[in-house]
Amino acid sequence: MRYILGEHNILFLKSFAFTILFLSCIAIRLNLCLSSIPSSLKSIPLEGHLKFDQVSLSHAARDFGNRYQYNPMAVLQPESVSDIVATIRHIWLMGPGSHLTIAARGHGHSLQGQAQAHGGLVINMESLKVPEMQIHVDEGNKSPPYVDVSGGELWINILHETLRYGLAPRSWTDYLHLTVGGTLSNAGVSGQTFRHGPQISNVQQLEIVTGTGEVLNCSAENNGDLFHGVLGGLGQFGIITRARIVLEPAPTMVKWIRVLYSDFTAFTRDQERLISAEKTFDYIEGFVIINRTGLLNNWRLSFNPRDPVQASHFKSDGRTLFCLEMAKYLNVEEIDAANQEVEEHLSRLSYIPSTLFSTEVTFVDFLDRVHISEVKLRSKGLWDVPHPWLNLLIPKSQILNFAQVVFGNILSETSNGPVLIYPVNKSKWDNRTSVVIPEEDIFYLVAFLTSAVPSSNGTDGLEHILSQNKRILEFCERAQLGVKQYLPHYNTQQEWRAHFGPQWETFLLRKSVYDPLAILAPGQRIFQKAITFS
């Protein structure tokens, strides 16, 4: 018996030793591969340059969400599209045995590490300044004007440049210090979306570098599958290096109005009526306000009450209120006619009369309003904090049920950041793109734009806010509301499959065609690059 056991042990030890040797060989081979990567990358012919210093790597590993930090191996500062092509092509030719992945980083406004590449390569798209911005106007007015811009250009820069020609893009995001490629990879929504659709509905052409290093010019008519796939495609099929954005005549002024509701049904009914009307406001958004003290006094800093006496008697303390925010674009010579039109619209709404506030600002100041808040928050050290945002798209038929539970029970106050709620028209979205939206003709964006105090264990702390977000999502799932996340973030492919639903097979097919090694946008955590030892 002792002999048999001894023989068994010897066999086991031999097997164990072989396994250790095999694993050691793999580790050695992997380490040799890793150690050779920097020199391999340095061999790529570039007009720009690669950065390997710790400051650059740490910067690329941070984003607005301020919750995930994954250092890349290198950061590319491209000067031309050919730099991006050469880099992707180099990594593509390394084959599936290389662990390297690539993330395109714009202004770093991702929330959960979506533009990071752990141990991979981050492309700083803001350094890509070509092609230079070019504005085109058809003298015969047979086609709308447009601007050709780099994928790394900021929307605020596009606004300033196009205004020199009396033009501007039609659809915006609330925050303009974002890159074109970044917002078009998601959708780009704001208060103009009900009329013009998201930003991805206002693009005519794209130049894309795919995951194999191929450059393709595409539009709805030319390479249409890639064109629609990249729009809202979360960076999975290619990097946007150029975009053609539709323009329209720009106003000079904006009449900006805020009113309050205590009745949620009246609030949503008025919003839905406004977004369905032929002639209405140019921007419509809503906010949820829970237990805010002295709300109207805060408004007085920027807005004027129609009835100052009645407004001074209004109390917001302890109440759940709903703010309807509207804007009418106008030029100086149109002020009287625009004011009359605004009054007609307001006369049909059911807001609390004493809460009507308005102001007139320049078009630029209105569109760049969030940046003004950013400057104030930065001065107080309140900008670079965790931002556990939650953005949901909710069918119109379920919005009352959602509001009763979430605003009535789960949320106790809204002092940690604004809660946006406004409807959009599905008819303004192109169902060929990669964005997943609810099935109904009207659906709501509800955005919980919270900021967490890093050291707090209270209701303004990160853990409390994340727990609150989880409760909201669990309710949506349990009640089967048909909710879809905007700027989604999941940890498993099974969750991504559920998110995309019937669109998953199309998404998967596009990935296999345009990025077959899963090199691009690893921070989305949809696909994982395979590592083999052949």
Look at strands 357-362 and 253-261 and give their pairing: antiparallel
Are 222 and 99 in contact by the 8 Å Cβ rule? The answer is no
Question: What is the per-residue pLDDT for 36?
Answer: 60
Distance CA 143, CA 90 (A): 40
50-250+495-533 shares its CATH topology with 253-485: no
pLDDT (tens digit, 9 = 90+) per residue, 432-454?
A: 999 999 999 999 999 999 999 99
Q: Token pair 């501007």 is at which residue?
A: 168
pLDDT (tens digit, 9 = 90+) per residue, 49-104?
A: 999 999 999 999 999 999 999 999 999 999 999 999 999 999 999 999 899 999 99
- Phi/psi for 371 (5° steps) reads -65, -35
Question: What is the per-residue pLDDT for 37?
Answer: 73
Question: What is the per-residue pLDDT for 17?
Answer: 40
Catalytic-residue membership of 174: yes
Catalytic-residue membership of 107: no
Single out the catalytic residue among 59, 99, 160, 174.
174
Which residues touch 176 (CB under 8 Å, ≥6 apart)? Answer: 154, 155, 156, 159, 367, 368, 370, 371
Question: What is the per-residue pLDDT for 33?
Answer: 46
50-250+495-533 — its CATH code?
Answer: 3.30.465.10
Question: Which helix (H) or strand (E) segment is 271 a member of?
Answer: helix 264-276
Question: Mean pLDDT score of the chain, rounded to an integer?
Answer: 91
Single out the catalytic residue among 285, 325, 368, 515.
285
344 pLDDT more than 90 = yes
pLDDT (tens digit, 9 = 90+) per residue, 281-301?
A: 999 999 999 988 889 988 998
As to burial, measured by CB atoms within 10 angstroms (0-12 exposed, 13-18 middle, 19+ buried), residue 109 is buried
Give the helix ranges, DSSP H, for 53-185.
54-60, 81-93, 155-163, 180-184
Distance CA 303, CA 356 (A): 9
Tell me how far the alpha carbon of residue 80 is from its chain's centroid. Answer: 25
Single out the catalytic residue among 109, 228, 345, 489.
109
Q: How confident is the model at residue 279 (pLDDT cuts 50, 70, 90)?
A: confident
User: Within 10 Å of residue 236's Cβ, how many Cβ atoms?
Assistant: 23
Mean pLDDT, rounded, for 117-140? 91
Catalytic-residue membership of 515: no
133 pLDDT more than 50 = yes
Q: What are the residue boundaries of the structural domains of the chain, listed by start? A: 1-43, 50-250+495-533, 253-485
Distance CA 152, CA 148 (A): 12
225 pLDDT more than 80 = yes
534 pLDDT more than 80 = no
Question: What is the per-residue pLDDT for 15?
Answer: 46
426 pLDDT more than 60 = yes
pLDDT (tens digit, 9 = 90+) per residue, 230-248?
A: 999 999 999 999 999 999 9
Which residues touch 430 (CB under 8 Å, ≥6 apart)? Answer: 197, 200, 201, 228, 231
CB burial readout 385-398, b (16+ within 10 A) else e: ebbbbbbbbbbbeb
Distance CA 488, CA 215 (A): 27
Strands (E), 430-485: 442-448, 484-485
Please give the CATH topology (third level) of the domain spanning 253-485: Vanillyl-alcohol Oxidase; Chain A, domain 3 (3.40.462)
Distance CA 45, CA 89 (A): 11
